Amino acid sequence: QVPVSGTFTNPCNGDVFPLAGNIHIVFHVTTDSNGGLHIFEMENAYDIKSVAPAVPSGSDYVVTATLTQSVNLTSGAAEEATFTQHINAISQGPAPNFLMHVTLHITLANGVPTAQVNNMRTECAG
């Protein structure tokens, strides 16, 4: 458990608010019989909320977020990594909710990118 605090901006309406809460982190590293290294990380934000009303709307927010990251390194020349993140800033008042989903994937051969996926989607809702 890691305490976090900061400032968040809701791009749907320009609200700015201070927030605080916690992140739970799981980190796992394994090696395989061929000398490969496999790294997995998962972060889950919980109990994150605005600690003062947002400006200018005056709304309070609850923020949830998850992050997963997987990296596979082989003893040869191939490497690949995947990163996924979801953030939900949910208004407790009339301000719109902000949702963001990000997926990144890259494959490298001899240090040169051979395939890449970069998807980011944002949504303003309800």
Q: Read off the pTM.
A: 0.83
Residue 75 has pLDDT above 80, yes or no: no
The predicted-structure confidence for 54-74, as pLDDT tens digits, reads as follows 999 999 999 999 999 999 988
Starting at the edge strand that comes first in sequence, how are the strands of the sheet with 37-50 ordered?
2-10, 15-31, 37-50, 61-73, 78-91, 97-109, 112-125
pLDDT value of residue 88: 96
Residue 92 has pLDDT above 90, yes or no: yes
The predicted-structure confidence for 4-46, as pLDDT tens digits, reads as follows 999 999 999 999 999 999 999 999 999 988 888 999 999 999 9
Q: Where are the alpha helices (DSSP H) in 6-123?
A: none
